[in-house]
Structure 1
Amino acid sequence: MRSPSMRHWGQLVVLPVVLVVVVWVITADSGSIYFPPLSEVLGALGSGVVEGSLLSDLGYSMRNLILGLALASLGGGLLGMVIGIHAHTREVLMPLLAFLRAMPHAAFVPAVILTLGIGAAPKILLIAFSTCWPVLLNTINGVRGIHPAVMETAAVYRIPWHLQLLKVVMPGALPQFLAGLRISVSVGLVIVVISELYGSAEGIGYFILRSSQNFAVVDTWAGTVLIGIVGYLLSLLLLLVEHALLGWYEQRAPRSRPSRAGSGLLRQGPRLGSRHERRQPGAA
């Protein structure tokens, strides 16, 4: 069990390094102003973090993203457990939830900014609204995946509802909840950039917009690369959290099934017994 896990983590580290090396080699002799060499982009990224405003812009965006994800995780997780437990409520609300999930959330950005302003609070609300759906729907599916016998056993033994929620429902829905949270991170990064492009005085999206308006192509690429790096690091962080919390889930042994040889022996048993029974009268 250990070697596949180590191989998986090795791939997560080695493959991005190989990709960076390949892009570095391909763009080394690039003379286009729209596709500068990767060395210049990384140099602009380093200077922007150390000397420029890129680090403060990134901090502003990450604060909005973390607060929005926290609201989405809390609201989506609790509401998902409630809807997942009550079958009638789930049947009534699932069409509405599927409709809201399918709507392009980026289309709400101009309307929300126009209505609520360009401060941080509207952006956090947009991030929370856009990222709650993967968490909500995955939590519902996680609760539905709990075996009915487990819930019936808890009800028969009259376990209090809060203990059922903590000891049965939450552990059963946790794998799907974390999978939905990983999807929400990528969605949240997109909404962060779009909201700051439409109306903001700071943030990584504002940095990209300002650089493009000043025809600073290298800085524009540097901001874009920084978003990709942050998204990848957040995904790795969530993988580590998932590995730490779900060790019991990943190492669970698969259910054993009867083999064909065993089933064949079971089928041969009655035939051997019947022959033996036929020989008994002759022997007597």
Structure 2
Amino acid sequence: MEGLQPEDLAMNRWLREIVAELWLPCLVVLLWWFTSRGSQSLHFPPLSVILERFGQDWLFARFWTDLLPSLRNFGFGLLIGATIGVAAGTALGLSRFARHVLPLLEVMRAIPVIALIPLIIMMLGTSDIEKIAIIAFGSIWPVLLNTTEGVRNIDPTLRDVGRSLTLDRGSVLFRVILPAASPQIVAGLRLSVSIALVAMVGSELFASTRGIGYVILSATQGWDMPQMWAALLMLGIVGYALNGLMTLFEKRALRWHWGRATINRAATR
């Protein structure tokens, strides 16, 4: 490795990470391909048939009619839920009475969002507003509770430093409190992404006419197994892409945090 430029070392490290992450999925796909080849099972068609259906539908027609509406509802719902969660969690974390409210919030968080779908449909109908509300409700709680704990557990000396620098309340909030609590906020946001994805599919299983969840349900009811597996494959790709985006966001947003953690580990050796 001697004589390599820094950009070459970075490229080699990136390639090693890609290989380490993709070798197992590629192996599973190969095994699936060869074990399902020539399958006559109604429930488990050959992977070649599934991929052919995937290319026909999800890369063209259903990309616009089902995938994009699902992603749009997911994005709006997650944005609303995360915004409310950070705002309410910050207010509770700064409040002396938060300990009286947290048990109630834990009870509400324990209610599966899927169980509330019929009620929300009765209140809001079957439009996209209903789906966005379901996704938002499901994604609020991890962000809210993590933000509350993150703000409550901030070292008091950080606030004292902010006051000693004669910062106003807004500056203390955005320059001291929220940055210090950001590791837990981002951890809550990562949980919210997975919950929002489940809520997105669940909201499309009830009285819906489009979306990934609707395609899965209609394909199952019509015994169109290649379509069902193709939709599940699309859902897996979406989940994997969202996880990758969250990883990139976490590395960029918490760069200072990981750098400090690395320094602390080096100092303790």
> What TM-score range do you get, normalising by the shorter chain?
0.7 to 0.9
Structure 1: where are the runs of 5+ without partners?
A: 260-284
Q: Distance in 1 between matches of 2:147 and 2:33?
A: 41
Deviations 1:155-211 (A, max 9, x none): 344321111111111211222222211211111111111111111111111111221
Which residue identity lines up with residue 264 of structure 2 in the other structure? Answer: P
- Deviates further, 17-26 or 67-76: 17-26
* Conservation of the 8 A alpha-carbon contact between 2:58 and 2:234: no
The structural deviation recorded for 1:8 is 5.0
Q: Is 1:245 aligned to residue 253 of structure 2?
A: yes
Q: Distance in 2 between matches of 1:215 and 1:38?
A: 17
The structural deviation recorded for 1:30 is 2.9
Superposition map of 1:1-284 within 5 A: 6=14, 10-86=19-95, 88-252=96-260, 253-254=263-264, 256-257=267-268
143 and 18 in structure 1: CA distance in 2 versus 1, 3 angstrom threshold: farther
Which residue identity lines up with residue 135 of structure 1 in the other structure? Answer: V
The structural deviation recorded for 1:51 is 4.4
* Conservation of the 8 A alpha-carbon contact between 1:54 and 1:204: no
Which residue identity lines up with residue 183 of structure 1 in the other structure? Answer: L
Structure 2: where are the runs of 5+ without partners?
A: 1-9
TM-score under structure 1 length normalisation: 0.83
Determine helix, strand or coil for the equivalent of 2:97.
helix
23 and 180 in structure 1: CA distance in 2 versus 1, 3 angstrom threshold: farther
Which residue identity lines up with residue 200 of structure 2 in the other structure? Answer: V
Deviations 1:69-93 (A, max 9, x none): 000111101111121122x222111
229 and 166 in structure 1: CA distance in 2 versus 1, 3 angstrom threshold: same
Aligned residues: 257
* C-alpha RMSD of the superposition: 2.3
Which residue identity lines up with residue 85 of structure 2 in the other structure? Answer: G
- Deviates further, 17-26 or 208-217: 17-26
- Deviates further, 49-58 or 88-97: 49-58
Determine helix, strand or coil for the equivalent of 1:199.
coil
14 and 145 in structure 1: CA distance in 2 versus 1, 3 angstrom threshold: farther
Q: Distance in 2 between matches of 1:19 and 1:171?
A: 41
TM-score under structure 2 length normalisation: 0.87
User: Aligned residue for 2:7?
Assistant: none
Determine helix, strand or coil for the equivalent of 1:77.
helix
Determine helix, strand or coil for the equivalent of 1:198.
coil
* Conservation of the 8 A alpha-carbon contact between 1:68 and 1:128: yes
Q: Distance in 1 between matches of 2:76 and 2:114?
A: 18
| Identity level (%) | 37
Q: Distance in 2 between matches of 1:74 and 1:194?
A: 22
250 and 26 in structure 1: CA distance in 2 versus 1, 3 angstrom threshold: farther
Q: Distance in 1 between matches of 2:175 and 2:140?
A: 24
The structural deviation recorded for 1:53 is 2.7
